[in-house]
Amino acid sequence: MTHPTFISRRQLLTGAAATGAIHTLAPSAFAQSAAAQATAQPASPRKLKLSLFSKLFQWTDLKHTAAIARDLGFDALDLTVRRKGHVLPERVATDLPAAVDIVQAVGLQVSMISTDIKDIQSPYAESILATARRLGIHHYRWGGLTYKPGPAIHKQLQDLKPQIRDLAQLNEAHQICGMYHTHSGVNMIGGPIWDLWLLIRDLDPRWIGMNYDIGHATIEGGFGGWETSTQLAGPSMRGIALKDFFWPARKPGQKLSLYEPKWCPIGEGIVDFHVFFALVKASSFDGPVQLHFEYPAFAGAENGDTSLHIPEAQLISMVRKDLTAIHDVLRPLDLI
Confidence band for 47, pLDDT divided at 50, 70 and 90: very high
- Which of 146-155, 208-217, 256-265 comes out lowest in average pLDDT? 256-265
Mean pLDDT of the chain: 88
Contact, 89 vs 95, CB < 8 A? no
The CA angle 128-67-304, to the nearest 5 degrees, is 55
Q: What is the pLDDT of residues 268-301, one digit of tens each?
A: 999 999 999 999 998 889 999 999 999 999 999 9
3-state secondary structure of 290: strand
This prediction's pTM: 0.86
Quote helix, strand, coil % in the chain, to nearest 5: 45, 15, 40
- Flag whether pLDDT at 19 surpasses 80: no
Closest CA to 114 of 266, 235, 290: 290
Contact, 90 vs 116, CB < 8 A? no
Please tell me the distance from the alpha carbon of residue 175 to that of residue 171, in angstroms, as a whole number. Answer: 6
Closest CA to 289 of 79, 35, 78: 78
Of 250 and 204, the structure prediction assigns the larger pLDDT to 204
3-state secondary structure of 212: strand
